Amino acid sequence: MKTYRVALLGCGPRGTSASRGYNALSRTEVVALCDINQERLNLLGDELDVSARYEDLDAMIQETEPDIVIIPTNTKFHFELAMRVLEYGVNIDMEKPMCVDLEQADAVIARAKEKGARIAIHHQGRVAPAMNAVAKAFAEGRIGRLRHIETSGKGYFGGYGLMNIGTHSLSNVIKFAGHCQSVSATVLTGGHPITPADVVPAPNGMGPVAGECITATMTFKNNLCATLYQHQFEKMDTTAYQLRLLGSEGQLCWKMNRAWLLPTPHYLPDGEHDLWQELDVKLPEGFESGTTVGEAEYAFAAEYVAALDEDRDHECSGSEAHHVLEIMMGIFESGAHQRAIQLPQLERRHPLLRWREENGLGPPEKD
């Protein structure tokens, strides 16, 4: 059975977490690291016992011939780096969100197809043990017919939260609902619908964003809808980040590394909490608890091995992340023009930049 060679481009916090997952897996070997920060490069190289350390991406690929290159950098670098890696026909594991806009994402997907390479976007929670427990209960029919999905973020500024945590939330939604047909969003800043002047550049190179509070309703086949909340709180609250599936016979709830079943479809003010049943969450085969390796990171790497073995896409594939980005751009466009947006969108440029141009404004400047 093949051992897949993995190279890392960027030894920051996200790169460190992802590489630890691959390093712990028996079917993958981290063979090279690349970073312009020598201190980070040596720190992670020493931890993983990887001697091949580079400051040049092309030299790393040419000399170590990896099967997968991890790109955990800021979003603004994703397009350029992915296109460079794809020139070698190498598979990619890239941090979310996929790109800053649909023009970039379209080009990356097209190039990967031309080169016969596969892309996975690091929505690790989608294949983590707790989400698998929810998926198992759902597949067993324990909540009946799916009626509605709710998902919420951690309380970041809404527009930034959408591009950061929202990309995970939407990937989880489409895992159960399939692809979205249309989106209608209310995007507010200061209690009023956003204006072109409210568009700002997001941290971490995630592109232009807008809205302190975002509430979006998405439509799917079979009369199914989903609601996403990205509301800014005074203080970040990780307990608010969750996914809830409402069915005709019960409900399922996911939150980080835990999952629950409620065997009733309706809200019960005087007893609901007593009825929630925590689901059994099974750790991935071969995973060892009590280390620096995250179970979700390990599961993501294991899924990539299985996908390459079977000559198929990763569950968190580039095409799935491309659709997530389609929804997020639709949310911004809907909030800007205060109307429902049909997907896929015909105009691929970033909707907030187009909106500003229509109103005589250039790209937003950083403070």
Q: Is the pLDDT of residue 367 over 60?
A: no
SS3 194: coil
Asked whether the bond before 201 is cis by omega within 30 degrees of 0, the reply is no
Q: What are 9-53's pLDDT values in tens digits?
A: 999 999 999 999 999 999 999 999 999 999 999 999 999 999 999
User: For residue 216, what pLDDT is reported?
Assistant: 98
Q: Is the pLDDT of residue 76 over 60?
A: yes
Question: 């983590």: which residue's tokens?
Answer: 128
Q: What are 207-227's pLDDT values in tens digits?
A: 999 999 999 999 999 899 999
User: What domains does the chain contain, in order, with CATH numbers?
Assistant: 4-125+293-314 (3.40.50.720), 132-279+323-358 (3.30.360.10)
- Rounded to whole angstroms, the Cα distance separating 132 from 254 reads 10
What is the secondary structure of 285-303 as a DSSP string?
TT--SSSS--HHHHHHHHH
Closest CA to 284 of 267, 271, 301: 301
Distances 299 to 46, 130, 285, 287 between C-alpha atoms, Å: 24, 11, 9, 9
Closest CA to 278 of 137, 127, 128: 137
What average pLDDT does the chain have?
A: 96
- Rounded to whole angstroms, the Cα distance separating 34 from 182 reads 41
User: For residue 101, what pLDDT is reported?
Assistant: 97
149 and 226 Cβ atoms separated by less than 8 Å: yes
- Rounded to whole angstroms, the Cα distance separating 57 from 34 reads 7
| The two three-digit tokens of residue 89, written as one number | 């026909």
| The two three-digit tokens of residue 112, written as one number | 């990967």
User: For residue 267, what pLDDT is reported?
Assistant: 74
pTM across the whole model: 0.96
Q: ∠ at Cα 93 (92, 96), nearest 5°?
A: 125
